[in-house]
Amino acid sequence: MPGNMPSTDPDSSAKFLSHHDRWVSLRQKAISEFVSKINSFSDFDDTYKFLEQKRQDIAVELMKDANGEVQVKAYEYGQRRRDRGGTYETDEIFSSNPDVTFWKRQSSAVIQRVRSLCSSDQEDGNRYFRLHSNIAEDGLGTLEILQRPPGELIGVGKYSVTLTTFYYERDEDGVEHCRLLYRSPNKYDTPGDIKIAGYLYRQCLDWNPTQGTEALIKNVGILYHRLSHFLLSEKGTAAILEFLVEGIFLSKRLDVQPKMDNPLCWNLEALVTPDPDVFAQWFQDKAVTVRSLPSGEDRPPSESFFSDTSYSNDVEGTAAGDHSALRGKPKLGRS
């Protein structure tokens, strides 16, 4: 098996490892069906709902108890996030405490990146994003990554909202924690997210070989970055995005294989990289290898994307950990 994996497999905690072969088979079937239908969907939202349903179908197939009954939480995979009336939602917590088991293999890399971005008061911006960050003397810090795409992308003029927030803390014992928060979906911003994703997805579908493979890799990388921050689904986003990525490349008769030597999985790399262009360059240089399929050669979807679980959560979700050591409340803002 490869040493690392590019993205997280939500079904790969210890009790699901026995399902690995079935996971690979179901994954390949889902991607093959997606490729066969890729040009038949009415729009990107329709496309993404199809992939969400495939992810949920896999969870339902794998997450059954000894009596064959489907676990209720299986239906959270691929379920579209709902507006719960809040301004943010806690998704994951990373800690340098060696006794904390969730995300223990990737926490140090996430914390290091967030600390670096929060190292001084700053406000950086370019055509696609804005960054607010600071670390106060008491060891508390906030990193806010906001999207600010040009109006022509979605045809609605100014559109600027907080995407992802990392709440950083260094406690009196020197232990560092990062809390990852997403803004809650709502009827005002989520349609804009989907329009942006649809615009970027159309660029991928409209690609042709005369533009060069690098152009497609960049477009796919930017799309992956945006969707990682949008977090449209309750659970299963990492797998859904892998279905999407491999399906796009296979539909263009391109063989894509993941590189396995990165300290962070794809979705975490996207979340700690504010600039989508920087992530797209990383995606091209560090994440994938792409080659054209010779005439007459076909290849089934890859087995290797989820063939190793060493970089997945060691326990399911953050509920298994005790987060009482985190003090204070995140300072969140909207723009």
User: What pLDDT is attached to residue 281?
Assistant: 96
The model's confidence at residue 132, banded by pLDDT at 50, 70 and 90, is low
295 DSSP 8-state letter: T
Helices in 159-255 by DSSP H: which ranges? 190-205, 213-230, 237-251
* Distance from C-alpha of 103 to C-alpha of 108, rounded to nearest angstrom: 9
The predicted-structure confidence for 292-325, as pLDDT tens digits, reads as follows: 988 877 777 776 554 333 333 322 333 323 333 3
Whole-number average pLDDT of the chain: 77
More confident residue, 7 or 299: 299
User: What pLDDT is attached to residue 164?
Assistant: 82
Instruction: For the chain, give every domain's residue range.
Output: 14-81+188-306, 89-186+316-320
Residue 217 has phi, psi (to 5 degrees) of: -60, -40
Angle ∠(266,277,239) on CA atoms, nearest 5: 25
Q: What is the CATH number of domain 14-81+188-306?
A: 1.10.3290.20
Instruction: Name the token pair of 24.
Output: 């690979």
Instruction: Name the token pair of 217.
Output: 């890799």
Site of tokens 């800690």? 95
In sequence order, the β-bridge partners of residue 180 are 92, 166
> What integer is the mean pLDDT of 107-113?
89
The model's confidence at residue 137, banded by pLDDT at 50, 70 and 90, is low
User: What pLDDT is attached to residue 18?
Assistant: 62
> Which helix (DSSP H) or strand (DSSP E) does residue 110 occupy?
helix 107-117
Nearest Cα neighbor of 312 from 89, 92, 165 is 92
User: What pLDDT is attached to residue 303?
Assistant: 67
The model's confidence at residue 135, banded by pLDDT at 50, 70 and 90, is low
Nearest Cα neighbor of 268 from 166, 144, 118 is 166
Instruction: Name the token pair of 66.
Output: 């000894």
* Distance from C-alpha of 94 to C-alpha of 309, rounded to nearest angstrom: 18
* Distance from C-alpha of 56 to C-alpha of 142, rounded to nearest angstrom: 34
The predicted-structure confidence for 227-255, as pLDDT tens digits, reads as follows: 998 899 999 999 999 999 999 999 999 99
* Distance from C-alpha of 87 to C-alpha of 184, rounded to nearest angstrom: 6
Nearest Cα neighbor of 179 from 76, 328, 320, 7 is 328
| Ramachandran quadrant class, 2 (left: phi over 0; alpha: psi -120 to 50; beta: rest) | beta
If DSSP codes are grouped into helix, strand and coil, which group holds residue 140? strand
* Distance from C-alpha of 279 to C-alpha of 17, rounded to nearest angstrom: 30
* Distance from C-alpha of 124 to C-alpha of 130, rounded to nearest angstrom: 6
If DSSP codes are grouped into helix, strand and coil, which group holds residue 45? helix
- For residue 286, how many other CB atoms are within 10 A of its CB? 14
To the nearest 10 degrees (0 to 180), the angle between helices 237-251 and 20-37 is 50
Site of tokens 């994440």? 287
The predicted-structure confidence for 165-211, as pLDDT tens digits, reads as follows: 888 888 888 888 888 888 788 887 788 889 889 999 999 999 999 99
User: What pLDDT is attached to residue 240?
Assistant: 95
- For residue 15, how many other CB atoms are within 10 A of its CB? 10
* pLDDT greater than 50 at residue 8: no
pTM for this predicted structure:
0.83
The predicted-structure confidence for 36-55, as pLDDT tens digits, reads as follows: 999 999 999 999 999 999 99
> What integer is the mean pLDDT of 258-283?
88
User: What pLDDT is attached to residue 188?
Assistant: 77
